Amino acid sequence: MLLESISFLTAIFVGGKLRFLFSSGWQMEPQWWITAVLFTFAMVTLNAGLGLYQRITQWSLSNLLLRLMASFALGTAVMSWLFYAFPALFVGRGVFGFALLFSFAAVIGVRRLFYRYVDSQRLKRRVLVLGAGDFAHRILDFERRLPFGHLAFVGFVRMGYEPCRVGAERLLELNAPLRELAESQDIDEIVVAPDDRRQGLPVDEILDCKMEGVDVVDLLTFFEREAGIVKIDCLHPSWLVFSDGFRMRSSMLVKRLFDIAASLALLAVAWPVMLTTAVAIWIESRGRHPIFYRQTRVGSNWKLFQVIKFRSMRPDAEKDGVRMARTGDDRVTGVGRFIRKTRIDELPQLWNVFKGDMSFVGPRPERPEFVEKFAEKIPYYAERHRVKPGITGWAQVRYPYAEDEADTVEKLQYDLYYVKNYSLFLDFLIMLQTVEVVLWGKGAR
């Protein structure tokens, strides 16, 4: 904050120098100091409001740029209002424009140097977990697969007589009030994760910590925020009922309009690729097999529809019965292997989107044979069919192709997250990540 304050404070004067770089005899006006101080105060306040001075290191470059762009847009609006209300403070459009460019570049440079040379451990969000049993162990299990690089787990506190599933080196004894432990360990957040809350939680002590500014979340909310999933092995029905989200119905009209626009736009761009693919499939099969492949899938509210894709497998692919695709599947043709890798085989589904059977973004459409089996064995599996399936989706870009029931459970957790947290912004984010998946061939079979 100090380094950026210096950047903002000097930006007005640097802007003046750049604006009148080739003008002789130019001098700075005395009231520019007032403008510089107001600009500094406005920008630092806005940056703080957008969370840019919190102890956290999870900002990706794109995330940081988005927040800075929002801050500078608001800062420009605030300063424009001040210039209108107090004309004597106005420094000129050219000077102010150069000041914005300089300060934006300075903030990026300051942060790059800061993150490079500062002790990264000091920037991590310090987390205390109340619980050391099976639920708490799920945090460690997930951490091994997808490290929470921006978090520092200070320790785990065993609650009641729950079985201890955490190593002794990570356990903390609660020998003093929880607030004192949080203060002594500089805790930023407490995750409440006991196996059985009926054994008693120190509710008053947790409330004391919350009133002192320590964030308190339950295990489900923690996984939802940090991993982008709804953890079904910790899920209880009341959480689904009383939690925020699961309100896609109110956004159906906007989503439908978005689907129509997106499908038409992509068809207009992708038709040469689709035509080339059709010709390649026809040549490979010597015209003896259909170019397109139609298959029954389960849609919204369990409604069946015919999905259309480019044929990527041999016509006798299911002569031995229905089975899921696997890595290196020998049923895939030569052309099919390429179009699956690049996801070109999915393009004909744009017609399903235009018709309304599917959405552009949503859970992957599954076959009725698989759906019936999974719905019997996997809790909450039916909830993914509350919305239309999609060509791409949160689960598709975040997790590889499902090969078995265990993979299906993992992908369901991402699907439930999408259903719970749907927004048009999330759809745009998924589409951007889909481009990365297509370019790098992630998760293809």
CA dihedral for 198, 237, 156, 163, sign (positive or negative): positive
Element (H, E) at 390: strand 390-392
Q: What is the pLDDT of residue 337?
A: 83
Please give the mean pLDDT across all residues of the chain.
85
- Confidence band for 237, pLDDT divided at 50, 70 and 90: confident
Q: Which of 53-62, 82-91, 225-234 has the lowest mean pLDDT?
A: 53-62
Residue 441 pLDDT:
54
For 289-321, what is each residue's pLDDT tens digit?
Answer: 888 988 899 998 889 999 999 888 877 666 666
Q: How many Å apart are CA 78 and CA 74, to the nearest integer?
A: 6
What pLDDT does residue 239 have? 77
Based on the number of CB atoms within 10 Å of its own CB, is 384 exposed (0-12), middle (13-18) or buried (19 or more)? Answer: buried
Q: For 387-436, what is each residue's pLDDT tens digit?
A: 899 988 999 888 877 677 888 898 999 999 998 888 888 888 888 888 76
294: helix, coil or strand? strand
Q: Does position 122 have pLDDT exceeding 80, yes or no?
A: no
Q: What percent of the chain has pLDDT over 90?
A: 36
pLDDT at 379 over 60: yes
CA angle 357, 308, 437 (to 5 degrees): 90
pLDDT tens figures, 184-199: 999 999 999 998 877 7
pLDDT tens digits, one per residue of 341-369: 787 888 899 999 999 999 999 999 999 98
pLDDT of residue 106: 94
Report the pLDDT value the prediction gives residue 52, as an integer from 0 to 100: 86
Confidence of residue 66 (pLDDT cuts 50, 70, 90): confident
Domains of the chain as residue ranges with CATH: 2-119 (no CATH), 124-227 (3.40.50.720), 249-440 (no CATH)
Residue 190 phi, psi (nearest 5): -115, 125
Report pLDDT for 55: 67
Segment holding 414, helix H or strand E: helix 405-421
Q: How far apart are CA 438 and CA 149, in angstroms?
A: 26
- What are the DSSP E strand ranges found in 110-221? 125-130, 151-157, 189-192, 215-218
pLDDT value of position 322: 61
Q: Is the pLDDT of residue 42 over 90?
A: yes
